Amino acid sequence: KYKGWSVCYHGTQSQFLGSILSHGIFGTQDRTQRFFSPSIVYSSHPRYATPQKLKDGKYIQTVFQCRIDPKVMLKKGTTTGGNHTIIDPNFSKEKQNSEIEWYLDGADIDKYIVYGMMVRISDDPATLPDSHWWSAGAKNRGGSGYRIKWRQEI
């Protein structure tokens, strides 16, 4: 059934892991739009894969690996900023600005499947090489590099 489906990723907060594994990815707003990306780098942005501080001071982030039916997915450009930089070197700037975000606009839960979970533990996600596109911009605007309020210690 899934032959020919495109690999994609969905970043999430750790508090939603159980719900997603049990019930699937719920959409935003009207709960029918589900967002994905062909880029794990993009899906690791703190807006999606919100870092959560562990007791040892490190941070954990979670991204699900999925497959999506390409016949029903819609594509659009980045909504997190980064229009003027390369977010993921696996994608051209043109592709990033036109199709780095994929989404389903409907309630059909059978048009995607969650089949893997990626977990990243780091000292500081903002200092990782793949984070350059979002962490530098936040620092340049006078912030600490973290535009998203990260979840407290677990």
Average pLDDT over residues 64-70: 93
Looking at the DSSP bridge assignments, the partners of residue 116 are 65
| Rg of the chain in Å (alpha carbons) | 15
Average pLDDT over residues 131-143: 61
Distance CA 93, CA 33 (A): 25
Q: Express each pLDDT in 7-59 by its tens digit.
A: 999 998 888 877 777 777 765 555 667 889 999 999 998 888 988 888 998 99
Q: What is the pLDDT of residue 78?
A: 83
CA distances from 119 to 44, 74, 92, 128, 138 (A): 10, 27, 26, 14, 24
> From the DSSP assignment, how many helices (H) and strands (E) are in the chain?
4, 7
Q: Which of 29-38, 71-80, 127-136 has the highest mean pLDDT?
A: 71-80
Q: What is the pTM of this model?
A: 0.82
Q: Which residue has the higher pLDDT, 71 or 143?
A: 71
